[in-house]
Structures are given as C-alpha cells and as structure tokens.
Chain A
Amino acid sequence: MTWLDLNRSYAVDMLVQHVRLAVPAIAISVLVAVVLGRVAWRWPKVGTAVLGGASLLYSVPALPLLIVIPVVLGIPLRSGLTLIVALAVYGTALLAGTAADAFRSVDPRVREAAEAMGFSSMGLFWKVDLPLAVPVLLSGVRVITVSTVSLVTIGALVGIPSLGNLLTDGFQRGIREEILTGLIGTMLLAIVLDALLVATGAVLTPWRRTAEATG
C-alpha cells in the first residue's frame, strides 16, 4: 500500500468529508421517516398515499436525482448540501415504510395499559411507542446507513468530494491502490457506523438484555 503511505492526509481528508455527508443525510432520513411513519400509522389512508409516493421517489435513480435537486432548490450542483438532500430523500423513501411497521409492532395491550395509567398522548409517544418501536426501526436504519455510505461515492462524479474521489481519481490516473483504498475505506466506514448503531440500539432497549438474561 505505497499509495496510502504517500497520500495519507488526502485519504483521511476525504474520509472526513464522506462522514460529513453521510451522517447528516442519515440523521435527516431517520427524523423525517419517523414523522411520516407515525402519520402513516395514525391515519392509514394518508399513510398509503405517503408510502406509495415514497416508493415512487425511491425508483428515481440516484445520479439523475443529484442533477435535478439543485434546479428545484436553487443550490449549486457541487455543494455538499445537494448530495445530503438527495441521500436524505432516498433514505426517507426507504425507511418510511419500516417506521410505520415499527409503530405497528408495538403491542396494543401495552399502549392500553399506559393510557389507563394516565399517560398523555405526548407521553405515550415518547415513553412507550417510540422506545418500543426501536428494534424494528433500527433494522431499517441499519439498511439505509449502509446504502447511504455507499451512495455518497457517486457525488465524486459531479464534483462533491468524498472517498468517491479516490475511485474516480484512481481510475483516471490508473492507480489500483487508490481505488482499493476508496472501496475498502467506504466499506469499513459502513461497518463502523453499523456497529455504532447496534451498540446504540442495545443502550436504548435495556429491557431486551434483561429478557435475554432471564430467558
């Protein structure tokens, strides 16, 4: 890996850029998808329309979406914001259905018990529904995290820097090690973020560990 020895600071720079693009896109996807999933769960008729629209959006190819977004929002094509918006649209489209499933997975008897104990509707959402929806929601978040980290690379094609630059630059200059560094770096980043999500999920659902321990 002589290429990496000589270009360590450049590679690290691109890794940092990659994280700065992927993490906000994933965070926005989760926030919007939870809201949409909640709406779809509460009002199933609206939900069908919303989820149908989401799956239609998901069928729009990524690179073209990257070209269309600057025109719609009036932002420069080469801005990181363009890529974040595009990936957030994708992530949301993929996650909204899972979020609705996550709320449906909450045992109605638990909700009734909480209501009987005098939880307000806000309290019910934050203290009962959302925590109990975490396991299903997390499975969806893991999927979009991996796909988002991988998709960030196409930004390099329109001039938004990330580990994808190692792929295009390596190809144009014929440096195999550079492409491999970008490829493996992207996959490692996905694996690290996925592991962080699994750890976060374990912290957010302490009752699952207790249930496992006591059988």
Chain B
Amino acid sequence: MSLFGDAIGWILDGAHWGGPSGIDTRILQHLAVTFAAVGIAAVLAIPLGVLIGHTGRGRLVVVALAGAVRAVPTLGLLTLLGLALGIGIEAPLLALVALGFPSLLAGAYAGVEAADAGAVDAARAVGMSEWQIVTRVEIPLGADVLLGGIRAATLQIVATATLAAYISDTGLGRYLFAGLKSRDYAQMLAGALLVAALALVLDLTLAALQRASRPTQGKVPS
C-alpha cells in the first residue's frame, strides 16, 4: 500500500509541476481536449436530438445508433484514426467526439420528448411558433435530461481522454504510459489518481449544475 504514498509523493513533488510536461500543464491539456470534444459533439448532436424529439421522427435510428456505438471499442477507433491521420491530437479528438455523440443525442431527444404534452399543446394554442415552442417550452422543460446527457458524455470523454496520450503528447494519460514504459509504478499510479480525481470533480460539478437547472414551482420562463 506504500505505493499509494509514493504516488501522492510524486504528485506533491515540486519538480513535477510547471513546464511543458508539468502536472498543471497536463491537467489543462486534459481539460482542453475534453471540452473541445464535448463542444464539437454537442454542436453536432444536440440540434439533431432536439429535432428528433420535437418531430418524433427517427427515434429508432437513435436507439440503434447508441447501441452500435457502445459496441465499438474506442481504442480500435483511436488506432484506426491514428493510422490514417498520423501522430497528433486530430485522431484522439475525432474518436472522443464519436464517443460522446450518442449520449448527447439521446439526452437532447429524450429531454425534448419528455416535455409535458399539455404544455406543448397549450403553447401552440396561444399561438407560439414551432421555434418558440422548442426554445421556450420544450428545451427549458427538458433541460434536466439534456444536461444529464451532457454530463454522461463529459464523464465518458474525460475518462477516455487518457487514451489520447497513446497517440499524441497530450493530457494526464502521458504519466500513465510513461510510467508503464519505464516501469515507474509511482508515476503511473499518480497519473491514474489524477485522472480519477479530475473525472470525479467534473462529474460532481455537472451534477450540481443539473440540480440547479430543475425548474422550481412558479418560475415560468417569460
């Protein structure tokens, strides 16, 4: 168990902070890759999910797609893209976007679809346009589920961003792979603990955001 002590010591060692491969730089890289992937996936998936949820068309495709993507090993997608695109951040970024896409799509579609049908009918009856119904009724009412999708995708992506270090010089995964290669278990374990802590902090933050988004009684979007 003293290995845990060694790993904590490794993290606290001032020599491992600062500079291009310091822990602070690696954490920022890891977060940058994560947010870039979540952002790109969200821009692609959320409008599509909202459209599917609003029109009710293409549901079966979503379910089938989500199932199929779950079966694709991310390492396989990553190595295949890495071979095609070469060493660098492009391949991991693309693989991570693909990884997060189904959760975001499912969250957007389920959130919009779950909006109270009575509220949607009432909105239509008072003369709201379809665009207003989507942006002022369905999205606010489905925000909780939609954020749930963003949270799930972010968690998957921040965890898997570790693999980005297999193909590019990016993120906390570097410590894991460097430690593996040089049989430096303290460094490897330190990397593992840092990724786990980052994932946990991110998940708890998003969980708090999700709670805050729940509509309270009497607070009607104007």
Interface residues of A (CB under 8 A from B): 56, 59-65, 67-68, 71-72, 143, 146-147, 149-151, 153-154, 156-158, 164, 167-168, 170-171, 174, 176, 179-180, 182-183, 186-187, 190-191
B188 interface residue per 8 A CB criterion: yes
Chain B positions 166 through 203: 1 when the CB is less than 8 Å from some CB of chain A, otherwise 0: 11000001001100100001001101110110011001
Task: State A60–B204 Cα separation when bound (angstroms).
Answer: 12
| Chain A residues closer than 8 Å to B203, beta-carbon distance | 59
Instruction: Give the secondary structure class of A's interface.
Output: helix
Closest 4 CB pairs of A and B: A61-B159, A64-B192, A183-B76, A171-B79
B73–A164 CB distance below 8 A: yes
A182–B159 CB distance below 8 A: no
CB-contact partner of B75 in A56, A157, A190, under 8 A: A157
CB-contact partner of B192 in A68, A156, A157, A171, under 8 A: A68
B196–A150 CB distance below 8 A: no
A59–B199 CB distance below 8 A: yes
Task: State A156–B177 Cα separation when bound (angstroms).
Answer: 12
The bracket for how many chain B residues form the interface is 35 or more
Task: State A71–B4 Cα separation when bound (angstroms).
Answer: 8
User: Of residues 84 to 141 in B, which have CB atoms within 8 Å of A's CB atoms?
Assistant: none
In addition to A60-B200, A63-B173, A183-B73, 14 A-B residue pairs with Cβ atoms within 8 Å of each other are: A60-B199, A62-B159, A63-B195, A64-B196, A67-B176, A150-B70, A150-B74, A153-B75, A157-B166, A157-B180, A167-B75, A167-B76, A179-B83, A183-B77
Q: Give the residue among B1, B73, B199 with the most A Cβ atoms within 10 A.
A: B73
CB-contact partner of A154 in B70, B75, B80, B193, under 8 A: B75
B71–A64 CB distance below 8 A: no
Instruction: Give the secondary structure class of B's interface.
Output: helix
B9 interface residue per 8 A CB criterion: no
| Chain B residues closer than 8 Å to A62, beta-carbon distance | 159
A150–B189 CB distance below 8 A: no
A202 vs chain B, min Cβ distance (A): 19
B163–A63 CB distance below 8 A: yes
B215 interface residue per 8 A CB criterion: no
B41 interface residue per 8 A CB criterion: no
- Residue in B closest to A186 when the chains form the complex, CB atoms: B73
B23 interface residue per 8 A CB criterion: no
Task: State A24–B141 Cα separation when bound (angstroms).
Answer: 43
B42 interface residue per 8 A CB criterion: no
Q: List 7 A-B contacts (CB under 8 A).
A: A64-B191, A67-B189, A71-B189, A143-B70, A153-B73, A158-B180, A170-B83
Task: State A149–B192 Cα separation when bound (angstroms).
Answer: 22
B56 interface residue per 8 A CB criterion: no
CB-contact partner of B70 in A60, A146, A170, under 8 A: A146
Task: State A65–B196 Cα separation when bound (angstroms).
Answer: 8
B61 interface residue per 8 A CB criterion: no
B208 interface residue per 8 A CB criterion: no
Task: State A164–B188 Cα separation when bound (angstroms).
Answer: 20
- Residue in B closest to A143 when the chains form the complex, CB atoms: B70
